[in-house]
Structure 1
Amino acid sequence: MRTEIPVTIEGNLTGDPESGRSDSDVQYARFSVAVNDRRFNEDTKQWEDGNTIYHPVVVFNDQARHIVDSLSKGDSVVVVGKLRFGTYTDKEDHTRETRDIIADTVGASLRFATVSVQRAPKASGPDAYAEGPVAAPAATGAGIAR
């Protein structure tokens, strides 16, 4: 069973992104984002840290390579994607639960940092029509916000 919920989070990478290839040769990157519940205490007039939630994030295809090349531990990011819950049965026949954010978009947060953007070359040939867990928008521009 899998359930997906749209989600947007902002937080910090807890480690450098790790990359790999799936059994079907799709490139992916995995990383964890710590989201801290920070609140202003009206009594003390100070910001206080609350609970920290660690979100495992997975991203596919070219974006995975861009993330590995661009981001590192401690970087502040904004992640937009789907929170996916799932279950599986382990080797001992126990039911286990999983939770991942499957990212559609990942970007550096500019709240406390600056970045220099370098555009990646556009795909051509067979790569322009590649399909996988996350495919690029169609060439007609369908689904692209303007």
Structure 2
Amino acid sequence: MFETYVTVIGNVVSDPRRRVTSAGGEVISFRVGVTSRRRDRASGEWQAGEALYLTVSCWGRLVTGVGEAVQRGRPVIVHGHIKTREYVGSDGQARSDLEMTATAVGLDLSRCVVGQVISTRDYEARTTGAIDADAVTDGHEAPDSDSHGRAA
């Protein structure tokens, strides 16, 4: 199957929806909208151009991360392969929708500020419920106190 990979920078326009498939896998989906803008040379004003909307589906480890970080209105960068899904709407009309199966999703930090950063090992502990002592201490003994002399 031919897969076209693209990166889209836009805004989340729907609340993410998490569901379990009939095979027991989890998927989380949301819509992303992008509107091109151009500056009118005569007036100096920015004008909205064409809009692009697509449905983004996330599988595997992305489900947890997207569920924690992505909300309607947030600026995102999504990367994955796209396809057109054709279907018949409830009104009997033929329709099509652009869909992406994401391989990476992130917040666009040029357009937002993130208040909390979760490290990879924190993520591992959250998703597996297990904490690897070597990962927490990087293979060294844990200190008895922090840099301010407080008990650890």
TM-score (norm 1): 0.72
**Root-mean-square deviation (Å):** 2.7
Structure 1 segments of 4+ aligned residues over 4 angstroms from their partners? 86-90, 94-98
Letter in 2 for 1:109: D
Kindly indicate whether the alpha-carbon contact (under 8 Å) linking 2:54 and 2:97 is maintained by their aligned counterparts in 1. no
Bigger CA radius of gyration: 2
Amino acid at match of 2:14: G
Q: CA deviation at 1:99?
A: 2.8
In the alignment, what sits opposite 1:15?
A: 14
Flag the 1:24–1:97 CA change in 2: closer, same or farther, 3 A. same
Task: List alignment gaps of at least 5 residues for structure 1.
Answer: 125-146
Determine if contact 1:12/1:77 at 8 Å carries over to the other structure. yes
Q: Which has the higher strand share?
A: 1
Shift of 1:71: 1.4
- The verdict on how the C-alpha distance between 1:42 and 1:69 changes in structure 2, with shifts beyond 3 A counting, is same
Aligned partners of 1:53, 1:89: CA distance in 2, in Å? Answer: 20
TM-fit CA distance, 1:95? 7.4
Tell me, which stretches of 5 or more residues in structure 2 are unaligned? 129-152
Q: Deviations over 1:4-42 (max 9, x none)?
A: 311110000012211011111111101000101111111
Structure 1 partner of 2:51? 52
Is the counterpart of residue 5 in structure 1 residue 1 in structure 2? Answer: no
Identity between Structure 1 and Structure 2 (%)? 23
Give the structure, 1 or 2, with the largest relative contact order (CA under 8 Å, sep 6 or more). Answer: 1
Q: What TM-score, normalized by structure 2, do the two folds share?
A: 0.69
**Which one of the candidate residues 114, 121, 124 is aligned to 1:121?**
124
Aligned residues: 122
Query: Which structure has the highest helix share of the two?
Result: 2
What is the rounded CA distance, in whole Å, between the counterparts of 1:55 and 1:88 in structure 2? Answer: 15
Is the 1:38–1:50 Cα contact (8 Å) retained in structure 2? yes
